[in-house]
Structure 1
Amino acid sequence: MQGMKHILCPTCTAVNRVDDARLAQAVCGKCAKPLAGAQVLHLDGPLLDALLAKDDLPLLVDFWAPWCGPCKMMAPAFEEAARRLAPGVRLGKVDTEANPALGARFGVQSIPTLVLFRNGVEVGRLSGARPAGDIVTWTLGALR
């Protein structure tokens, strides 16, 4: 059916079918938590893999580390971008200090690095700290 998406619950990882028109208000049928809010997700390997494999929303991932000054400076801008891009795009962060294998797996050479995925496939990459407006503009442009 046109307009329906498979949306993975970031809390319990249940897959839900949601109409595009109701995405902003949708809650998980299993745990009743919001499905596609404006919050930035903190991603580990299993959650990232599940989102890439089972979720129909584009996913923008910020690969960062707690010791990285530019990463910390960009954090509020990334949160603002999440608010502006919701509910049609998910935003998540991977702490490369806590999850070095994920940074290596995706070939992250420097941080912060933004990697945009659609249908589980990388469609864009941007390195360096950016303001919220640039993150939103780049993301929307890469998804056209």
Structure 2
Amino acid sequence: MAGKKITCLSCGQTNAVPFDKLAAGPKCGTCKAPLMPDAPVDVDLATLVKAAQTDDVPLVVDFWAPWCGPCKMMGPEFAKAANALKGQARLIKLDTQKHQSAGQRYGIRGIPTMVAFKGGREVKRQSGAVSAGAITDWVKGL
């Protein structure tokens, strides 16, 4: 498979995208959903597990819950960072209230928590609400 492996966040299909096309708005070969969206995508646990293990592009997950005040404050900042990082990394969100086993699987002790995956493994973690600029800098440091 030539190019970077990227899991479609809509249908779960693994796609190969040439490196120089990552910022050009590649779409899934199966369902035509954007592979490098400019806004965070809400995913389920199965999609997160596959993307974290498969993707060649850095994947940053915001573990959050709808009742969490700091999570609500960080949501718009995470969205701004996703737009700024389009083509370099994918930012996704996982609702820990809906997917309670995710917290245990990934050792989430408090929310919001960002976890970065690269090359099939966790490479970085940050807890607490942070600004878009701090998120962008954090991701660029991967």
Q: TM-score range by the shorter chain?
A: over 0.9
Name the structure 1 match of 2:14: 15
1:27-42 alignment runs, 5 A limit? 27-42=27-42
Q: What runs of 5+ residues in structure 1 fail to find an aligned partner?
A: none
Give the residue type in structure 1 aligned to 2:41.
L
Instruction: Output the TM-score relative to the length of structure 1.
Output: 0.92
Give the residue type in structure 2 aligned to 1:86.
K
1:81-121: CA deviations, max 9, x gaps? 10011122111111111111101111111111111111121
* Matched positions, count: 141
Cα distance in 1 between the residues matched to 2:33 and 2:112:
29
1:78-89 alignment runs, 5 A limit? 78-89=78-89
How far residue 42 of structure 1 moved from its aligned partner, in angstroms, is 0.8
Percentage of pairs with the same residue? 46
Partner-residue secondary structure (3-state), 2:73: helix
Name the structure 2 match of 1:46: 46
How far residue 51 of structure 1 moved from its aligned partner, in angstroms, is 0.4
Partner-residue secondary structure (3-state), 1:101: helix
Give the residue type in structure 2 aligned to 1:17.
A
How far residue 79 of structure 1 moved from its aligned partner, in angstroms, is 0.3
Name the structure 2 match of 1:92: 92
Cα RMSD of the aligned pairs, angstroms, is 1.5
How far residue 140 of structure 1 moved from its aligned partner, in angstroms, is 1.1
- Does residue 133 in structure 1 map to residue 130 in structure 2? no
Name the structure 2 match of 1:114: 114
How far residue 54 of structure 1 moved from its aligned partner, in angstroms, is 2.0
1:115-144: CA deviations, max 9, x gaps? 111112111111110000001111111x1x
Give the residue type in structure 2 aligned to 1:79.
A
Instruction: Output the TM-score relative to the length of structure 2.
Output: 0.93
How far residue 62 of structure 1 moved from its aligned partner, in angstroms, is 0.7
Cα distance in 1 between the residues matched to 2:114 and 2:33:
26
C-alpha contact (below 8 Å) 2:81/2:133 kept by paired residues: yes
